[in-house]
Structure 1
Amino acid sequence: MNIKSKALSTVIYLISILPFGALYVLSDIIYFLLRRIIKYRKKVITENLQHAFPDKSIKEREEIKNKFYHFLADLLIENLKMRSMSAAQSKKRLKLLNPEIPLDYLNKGQSIIIVTGHYANWEWGIHSLSLMTDYPSLIIYKPINDPVFGDIYNKMRSRFGAIMVPMKQTLRKITEYKGRTHSSVFLADQTPTRKESNYFIPFLNQQTSVFKGIEKIAKKTNNPVIYCRIDRIKRGYYTAKFTILAEDPARFLENEITNIHTKFLENIIREKPELWLWSHKRWKHKPHD
């Protein structure tokens, strides 16, 4: 670990040991900076909301935007808290409502695919899924540009045993775990490059490029696909509910599983849109590009 990495890790740790009350005061300050001073990705957020909800009034979209900035600030400090949160705190702060659904498969020796999105606190979900069972949890992620911060962040994510797998190594790692009961966890709303996917489907009122990797792996392994819906109950408290989307993936038609999990996420977003990552440049590619 070099000097930069040590310094950054120390700063994150010192912030993380603050009580939640102090952290949310810090979050309020971050919100003001993001919303009023920096105006973080204001154009991206505004355009995303306008395209996704053309039927809503400007006032309604502004309300969603304001709530999103509040949530984004909370998300930032909550994720830093992962550096020192205990297992007991993690279980208390994100409660699994029906863990018997994934556990029933795992305890029978059946590996599973868990799908979620950039919605609510998906990062806390990594800790909760890791604490749910002793079976390996493969967390498929897209590496960030800063390798130093990425390494620190992955260590925070894997504190309770999660195995972090870069997206490009997904098939290799899942093949490596063939014959070993495990869960593989995917974020369904990652943005593919033009080379990675040319499949577009309607999502939030726009033709949207999506990865088909979840479906391909599901059909190849015939591992059941389960959606993990994380919801925010109040500040600092979340729940996760599991829903079986495809119990026998090999029997599904081409693109059907991709369409199902994408639509499932869209319906969740429409219920509480402020909890999705609107600052994400999700619609960089168009079908006609």
Structure 2
Amino acid sequence: MNRFFSKIFLFLLNSLSRLSWKNAFRLSSALKWLLFDLIGYRKEVIRMNLKNSFPEKSDAELKVIAENFYLHFTDIIVETIKFRTASPEVVRDRLQGDISMMDDFYAKKTNIIYLMGHRGNWELANLFSSLSFTHECIVVYRPLQNKESDEWFINLRTRFGATLVPMNQIFKELQKPRDKPYAVVLANDQSANPGTAFWTTFLNQDTGIFRGVETIARRYNLTVLYADFSKVANKRGYYHVDITTITDEPKTVPNNFILKKQAGILEENINTQPHNWLWSHRRWKHKKPALLKPEQLAI
């Protein structure tokens, strides 16, 4: 997409952000038909991911999960467009849960690393964090190749004061002096480099997990929290956050304990609400190496 057409496309997105929520979800339903019913976007990837993750489920059960995921996927798209201009009140209204522990951590000047998976709407989660936490919010992201699209997402994610940092610069960022505690926010369930990943069994499959979180937490002695974002039943576009403490002593826990516990919690959450995860992602495109280094194993 050249620069001219990128600007036209992003202008269209900004215009769509001013739709009412009712019309936005009408657009989502139409987009679901276009992407999945007509074009068949990644339907084979989704089908195989579900089949391998839930071998005990029938084809009929898997089809229901897939259909629910299709609409969830397009809802995320239109919700993200809406959040480009949504007010703070709307953001707080659409994601709720008990985050009072963050005030306690702030009072104790405790730095945090927040892990999450691709459940719920992660763009909403980022905005909610920068609005609701007293901590300085540092959101880790992967820059997009398209400059205009990358700028659009940067503007979205920093609307309420978050600091956006590419993953390859996070160690440098955390070395900077700060006047108040910080919370690093990142999703950690993408497909990782098989030669450096921690390998475990996740959703009945050999799965590699990025080890960067473990390294960051240990190096800077960060309390590790996991946030899950479930969909509120019968309230389209509303989510609930539940926070779990993985460890407040990252330097003392066994090797890859943090990652193994995160994977276990995420798996439980997916089993509870299976359509609420990014099934269209090629999560298992890498195979487990025949030989693993000691740092790739759990002790």
TM above 0.5, one fold?
yes
Residues of 1 paired with 2:36 and 2:59: CA distance?
A: 17
Opposite residue 207 of structure 1, the aligned amino acid is D
Distance in 1 (CA, whole Å) between partners of 2:32 and 2:134 is 37
- 1:163 matched residue in structure 2: 163
Question: In the TM superposition, what whole-angstrom CA distance separates every residue of 1:69-102 from its partner, at most 9, and x where no partner exists?
Answer: 010111110011111100011101111x211112
Q: In the alignment, does 2:135 pair up with 1:141? A: no
2:265 paired residue number: 264
Counterpart for residue 89 of structure 1: 90
TM-score (norm. length: structure 2) = 0.91
Normalising by structure 1, what TM-score? 0.94
Change (3 A) 1:79 1:222: same
Distance 1:107 1:3, change over 3 A: farther
Separation in 1 of the partners of 2:103 and 2:165?
Answer: 22
* Equivalent residue, structure 2, for 1:215: 214
Separation of aligned partners in 1, 2:246 and 2:256:
13
Q: Report if aligned partners of 1:228, 1:243 keep a CA contact under 8 Å in 2.
A: yes
**Aligned counterpart, 1:249:** 250
Look up the equivalent residue of 2:272 and give its one-letter code: E
| Counterpart amino acid of residue 216 in structure 1 | T
Match of 2:293 in 1: none
Is the 1:188–1:262 contact (alpha carbons within 8 Å) kept by the matching residues of 2? no
Is 1:200 aligned to residue 203 of structure 2? no
8 Å CA contact 1:113, 1:224 repeated in 2: yes
Residues 115 and 188, structure 1, Cα contact 8 Å, conserved in 2: yes
SS in 1 for 2:31: helix
Conservation of the 8 A alpha-carbon contact between 1:82 and 1:157: no
Are 1:102 and 1:112, in contact at CA under 8 Å, matched by a contact in 2?
A: no
| CA shift in 2, pair 1:98/1:174, >3 Å | same
CA deviations over 1:109-145 (Å, ceiling 9, x no partner): 1111111010111110011000013431111112233
CA contact (8 A) 2:136 2:181 kept: yes
Question: Separation in 2 of the partners of 1:180 and 1:124?
Answer: 24
Aligned: 1:153 with 2:153: yes
Work out the percentage of aligned pairs sharing the same amino acid: 32
Alpha-carbon distance in structure 2 between the residues aligned to 1:57 and 1:4? 44
Q: How many residues align?
A: 286
SS at 2:230 equivalent: strand
Unpaired stretches in structure 1, ≥5 consecutive residues: none
Cα distance change of structure 1 residues 177 and 284 upon mapping to structure 2, 3 Å threshold: farther
Distance 1:35 1:223 in 2: 41
AA in 2 matched with 1:143: P
Matches within 5 A, 1:22-171: 22-95=23-96, 97-171=97-171
Distance 2:10 2:70 in 1: 25
- Residue matched to 1:280: 281
Distance in 1, Cα, partners of 2:144 & 2:55: 32
